[in-house]
Amino acid sequence: MPTALAPHPAAVRPPHADFDLTPITPNIGAEVTAIDLDDTLDDDAVAALRQALVRHKVLVFRDQNISPDAHVSLARRFGELEVHPVFPHHPDHPELVILGGTAASKASENIFHSDVSWRQNPSMASLLRCVECPPTGGDTIWVNMAAAYENLPESLKPQLDSLEAVHDLMPAFGSRMTPEQREANRDMFPPVVHPVVRTHPESGEKILYVNEAFTTHLANYAAGWEPRVGADFKVAEMDLLCYLLRQATIPEYQMRLRWEPDTIVIWDNRSTQHYAVQDYFPAVRRMMRATVIGDRPY
């Protein structure tokens, strides 16, 4: 079973912080209270939030009616922001993407994924605000992928530590583009190779870093052993990759959030995956997201 965080039966104020934390599950997520994100946070508050983010991986803030300007300004306190090449943007803030379907078409984020793992430098974190919620449904699930790695069979870990995987923009986003856009984005964002097990640059945790939205195959699976016949290594490679992808679906590694208007969630994209449940169509859920650029996985 996953290694649990120390239990907290009630909200606790971390040392040197001006907010309270209540864990959502033993393994992932905390609700943050006694804080107003529309105020200007000082450097100590941002540092304390970042420390809490690394530990709990997902931070939930309720009743945060902030403007798009304040949303972008808050996100910039955590680092430089990316501009997504596919999602629609806020008219005044290209760094702020608009997520959600319409009454005529479903959204399509209902797949376990780590944001923009197809970039050489995937995102460090995202800040997502709920603008409009459906009457019921539309939850989001986050997964602790450090716990997913930790609880893999010990006999498998030495093989994984040397493996690399290919991540590609096109499987998830290519169908949204014209042929000309596909050609342009393929030139800008060719497939990239990342380690199957990455190291968190702040906590030192080992993290299982493959996801079903963007990971297409293992780059060097056959390098460590000699297959019997040419077809043998490919079938075994895909069996292993599918096994690793299934780890994100294990409930013990997950938290599930019910959205309310003006809920903001910050998650550590290096150590988590997430899944936006699409059970509310034709109702509408509208979200705004700012994403902080990270560093290259190692």
Contact predicate 270/124, CB 8 Å = yes
Can you tell me the distance from the alpha carbon of 282 to that of 279, in angstroms, rounded to the nearest whole number? 9
- The residue count for the chain: 298
Among candidate residues 90, 87, 82, the one with its CA nearest the CA of residue 125: 82
* Encoded tokens for 118: 């197809």
Can you tell me the distance from the alpha carbon of 123 to that of 168, in angstroms, rounded to the nearest whole number? 15
Kindly list the catalytic residues.
113, 115, 274, 289
